[in-house]
């Protein structure tokens, strides 16, 4: 369950159009990464996956989180901390135009927290949340969590195994693009009114839908004192 799968070489994934990413954390502390899973989309399919265990900066694992992903402190005590893995990962992120995550606010938040903790600059990247894609592509489902979507689409999933979660996330994007009749998920965004998120060294903008943006504009017009009532 916790086997390491090394990152492919940059040459092996040259021409990839996206990387799906999933983090598992040791606790509710956002930067407490204990595993990362990655899935590369190339030539319209998941071409490679990777799984790395990571020693979090704080080794106090919350029992409830262990119950979710099954990773114990002894699994990671001899593994590198995040900066060493980030040095391997960053060139891959810089080589693709898009990052995918299912419930991106969590995964992008974890990434930002870990980079900030270790004094590393945020990268420049665009990303999409596949929860928002799934809601737009398959309206009316009872739920849009990863397990529900994998079951609905017939995707293989070992939930909370980070590599499997990343592959399922990539599978959602691929299936949504296919059903929209486009080769690249970015081509379907205008019809779904989805705007990619953007991360820069000094800036972050969330992935949003038209409804999100309308809500934000409406909230901005409400006086701050009134929002607190």
The model's pLDDT over 133-150, given as tens digits with 9 standing for 90+, comes to 999 999 999 999 999 999
**Does pLDDT of 219 surpass 70?**
no
Between CA 219 and CA 221 the distance in angstroms is 5
Position 30 confidence tier, pLDDT thresholds 50, 70, 90: confident
Look up residue 175 and give its two tokens.
């299936």
**Does pLDDT of 2 surpass 80?**
no
Between CA 41 and CA 150 the distance in angstroms is 17
Q: What is the DSSP string of 190-221?
A: HHHTEE-EEEETTEEE--EEHHHHHHHHHHHH
pTM, full prediction: 0.92
Position 36 confidence tier, pLDDT thresholds 50, 70, 90: very high
**Does pLDDT of 222 surpass 60?**
no
**Does pLDDT of 189 surpass 90?**
yes
Quote the mean pLDDT of the chain: 93
**Does pLDDT of 229 surpass 50?**
no
**Does pLDDT of 123 surpass 90?**
yes
Between CA 54 and CA 30 the distance in angstroms is 14
Considering only residues 223 and 9, tell me which one the structure prediction assigns the higher pLDDT. Answer: 9
Query: Which residues contact residue 180 at a Cβ distance below 8 angstroms, ignoring those fewer than 6 apart?
Result: 137, 187, 188, 191
Contact 111, 127 (CB under 8 A): no
Closest of 133, 131, 126, 127 to residue 103, by C-alpha: 131
State the average pLDDT over residues 73-80: 97
**Does pLDDT of 218 surpass 70?**
no
Between CA 157 and CA 130 the distance in angstroms is 15
- What is the number of alpha carbons within 13 Å of residue 128 lying toward its C-beta? 31
State the average pLDDT over residues 207-223: 71
CA-CA distances (angstroms) from residue 203 to 16, 112, 197, 219? 25, 11, 11, 21
pLDDT score at 215: 73
Between CA 40 and CA 27 the distance in angstroms is 27
Domains and CATH numbers, the chain: 18-227 (3.30.420.10)
Q: For a pLDDT cut of 90, what percent of the chain falls above it?
A: 89
């Amino acid at each position: 369950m916790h086997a390491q799968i090394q990152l492919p070489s940059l040459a092996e994934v040259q021409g990839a159009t996206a990387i799906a990413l999933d983090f598992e954390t040791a606790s509710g502390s956002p930067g407490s990464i204990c595993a990362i899973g990655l899935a590369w989309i190339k030539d319209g399919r998941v071409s490679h996956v990777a799984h790395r265990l990571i020693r979090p900066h704080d080794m106090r694992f919350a029992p409830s989180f262990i119950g979710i992903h099954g990773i114990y402190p002894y699994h990671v005590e001899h593994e590198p901390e995040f900066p060493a893995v980030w040095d391997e990962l960053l060139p891959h992120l810089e080589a693709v135009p898009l990052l995918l995550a299912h419930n991106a606010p969590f995964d992008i938040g974890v990434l930002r927290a870990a980079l900030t903790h270790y004094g590393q600059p945020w990268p420049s990247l665009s990303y999409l949340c596949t929860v928002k894609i799934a809601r737009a592509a398959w309206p009316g489902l009872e739920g849009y969590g990863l397990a529900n979507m994998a079951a609905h689409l017939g995707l293989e999933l070992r939930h909370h195994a980070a590599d499997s979660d990343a592959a399922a996330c990539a599978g959602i994007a691929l299936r949504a693009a296919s059903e929209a009749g486009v080769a690249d998920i970015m081509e379907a965004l205008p019809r779904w009114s989805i705007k990619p998120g953007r991360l820069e060294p000094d800036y972050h903008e969330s992935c949003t839908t038209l409804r999100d943006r309308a809500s934000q504009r409406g909230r901005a017009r409400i006086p701050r004192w009134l929002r607190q009532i």
